[in-house]
Chain A
């Protein structure tokens, strides 16, 4: 393992107007690590994960992704975005494009791959997430679980070094959660660097290297899944875990 972290955040702050959403976050992520972020709604998890690919701009502190510091330089931002895949809670597939076009659009127009290469890669990824037969359909005709797996394939088609997941299973019906988590577990085991915002504790237990508990824009507690579940140190963590583990 490389000694330099692939993502390095130091003293990251973010305000929405006067509202202080992220209050000084330090996180190091090394290549191949799987990080799980959890915490109550409104605690700044989405905001933080979105600062890493600059969907939100941080106003203080430094974020260095794969050796490139995020700044106002548009070229840096686009470079980091091509190396960072993101999967959203609401899938955000492009409704006017087929599954195949959704996946090949960025490889063809950003990476400048030939169409044949992009389509071969897309089929390979659709096999991996288990829905090669859906390639020519439009997103509107797929189930939520299938759409989210397409979204994962779309992000992976750019061959990113890092994958960001923002509550990827929260909008899914319970019976579809497993198919998406399985695809994510496969990906984690293949060595992908991942930051995952999720409350799926089974997923965290199986593949997470470290977990971070967020509350009110700050990291309250961090540790391995074992440490967090068996022996949480902070009262707020205990309370939150007791709430989400009830069912």
Chain B
């Protein structure tokens, strides 16, 4: 009887610790820890209290709330806003579809985006830019996300089609935003009028998508047995990595224009994108090279022994393993690229940060409110950077299940 009770006791799974126990184990586990807790806890509470009081009662968020359109699209002509809306809705739909297909983090992102749209749409304030039409548009995007979710859930769409759509939308988007000389439906809009988050996202997404393959190519180039290729790749990587991004931006925005004939002037935004791409590619190349070196020789021999050519061995065996090994480093690289796009301000492009600064400088009253504006912008950059690192951790752990060889 007693022994069977004992066994019952033993086979019970360990209980998660209760609240009090958690506090004891984590905050008061030793004398030193207890002293730290007693001293620091009031300090932390005091700071949080002060920040909340400031945010809610003392700060003046006028310079942030008054210009939502400036922050998102810059000077993009207000009568052509439907183009931006069209692309935004396309992405919301894709987000819904991806959520339905894969769930996970995409679910949280979609729900958070939907929640934000809803809050903005029903804000009980008078606002010049938050017209009834705008509110209806925002709400209809929530519906669109849900429609996407159902589509992704119910219809077995091939994964690569979803990926292809994600790639196509920004490309179609840029064409739509730029418009055509001859068109009356979508007349051209100069990129000098583009701005805000729109430009920040374009530069970051474009930079990531373009710099990654270039980086992989450079990594292979550096290991190439052809001296010309390897010398070119090495010089390219080392020169770019040895120069600040600011310098490269100036090079592309000014010096490139000097060399090219006037009529073949490349658009300012495109030149900025080229600079960001080249810069990021050099760093990606070094990351990828580290990954390539980490693939054991036995893997390559096994592939060769099966009759696979060098090319197929690279595509199917070496590259997937190399990229998996350096995924965190590559995502880190993308996050810094996202933040580095702020530097385009100095060549006169009004990205998100640039818009914030020009709002501050547009009115002596707003100069006093610059703390609020910078805090707001910092928060926005942090949210997107954090999302990227969350996504990378999810992908890593999904792949980690398979990697315990």
Binding site for B on A (CB under 8 A): 53, 55, 78-79, 81-82, 84-86, 88, 90, 92-96, 105-106, 109-110, 138-141, 154-155, 158
- Chain B's nearest CB lies how many Å from the CB of A74? 8
Query: Is B254 engaged at the interface, CB distance under 8 Å to the other chain?
Result: no
How far is it, in angstroms, between the C-alpha of A53 and the C-alpha of B320 when the chains are bound?
25
B309, closest chain A residue (CB) = A78
Contact: A154 with B321, CB < 8 Å? no
Contacts of A110 in B (CB 8 A): 306-308, 312
Binding site for A on B (CB under 8 A): 296, 298-299, 301-309, 312, 316-317, 320-321, 324, 399, 401-405
Contacts of B402 in A (CB 8 A): 95-96, 138, 140
Contact: B299 with A105, CB < 8 Å? no
Ranked nearest first, the 6 interchain pairs of A and B with the lowest CB-CB distance are A82-B307, A92-B302, A106-B306, A86-B305, A95-B405, A81-B307
Contacts of B308 in A (CB 8 A): 105-106, 109-110
Contacts of A81 in B (CB 8 A): 304-307
How far is it, in angstroms, between the C-alpha of A14 and the C-alpha of B306 when the chains are bound?
23
Give the interface SS of chain A, mostly helix, strand, loop or mixed: mixed
Contact: A55 with B321, CB < 8 Å? no
Given contacts A88-B301, A109-B312, are A96 and B320 in contact (CB under 8 A)? Answer: yes
Give the interface SS of chain B, mostly helix, strand, loop or mixed: helix
Contacts of B307 in A (CB 8 A): 78-79, 81-82, 106, 110, 158
- Chain A's nearest CB lies how many Å from the CB of B304? 7
Contact: B302 with A94, CB < 8 Å? yes
- Chain B's nearest CB lies how many Å from the CB of A142? 10
- Most B CB atoms within 10 A — which of A81, A82, A90? A81
How far is it, in angstroms, between the C-alpha of A93 and the C-alpha of B403 when the chains are bound?
12
- Add 11 more A-B contacts to A85-B306, A88-B302, A96-B402 (CB < 8 A): A55-B304, A78-B309, A81-B307, A85-B305, A86-B302, A90-B298, A92-B298, A95-B321, A96-B399, A106-B308, A139-B405
How far is it, in angstroms, between the C-alpha of A55 and the C-alpha of B296 when the chains are bound?
15
Given contacts A94-B299, A94-B317, are A55 and B305 in contact (CB under 8 A)? Answer: yes
How far is it, in angstroms, between the C-alpha of A85 and the C-alpha of B405 when the chains are bound?
23
- Chain B's nearest CB lies how many Å from the CB of A122? 13
- Most A CB atoms within 10 A — which of B306, B320, B321? B306
Contacts of B403 in A (CB 8 A): 95-96, 140
Contacts of B303 in A (CB 8 A): 94, 106
Question: What are some 23 contacts across the A-B interface (CB < 8 A)?
Answer: A78-B309, A81-B307, A82-B307, A85-B305, A85-B306, A92-B301, A93-B302, A94-B299, A94-B302, A95-B321, A96-B320, A96-B321, A96-B399, A96-B402, A105-B308, A106-B303, A109-B308, A110-B306, A110-B312, A138-B402, A140-B403, A141-B404, A158-B307
Contacts of B296 in A (CB 8 A): 92
How far is it, in angstroms, between the C-alpha of A236 and the C-alpha of B324 when the chains are bound?
49
Contacts of A85 in B (CB 8 A): 305-306
B404 touches which of A55, A106, A109, A140 (Cβ 8 Å): A140
Contacts of B302 in A (CB 8 A): 86, 88, 92-94
How far is it, in angstroms, between the C-alpha of A88 and the C-alpha of B324 when the chains are bound?
24
Contact: B306 with A105, CB < 8 Å? yes
How far is it, in angstroms, between the C-alpha of A140 and the C-alpha of B402 when the chains are bound?
7
Contact: A84 with B305, CB < 8 Å? yes
How far is it, in angstroms, between the C-alpha of A110 and the C-alpha of B304 when the chains are bound?
11
How far is it, in angstroms, between the C-alpha of A103 and the C-alpha of B317 when the chains are bound?
13
B316, closest chain A residue (CB) = A105
Contacts of B306 in A (CB 8 A): 81-82, 85, 105-106, 110, 154-155, 158
B323, closest chain A residue (CB) = A96
How far is it, in angstroms, between the C-alpha of A105 and the C-alpha of B324 when the chains are bound?
19
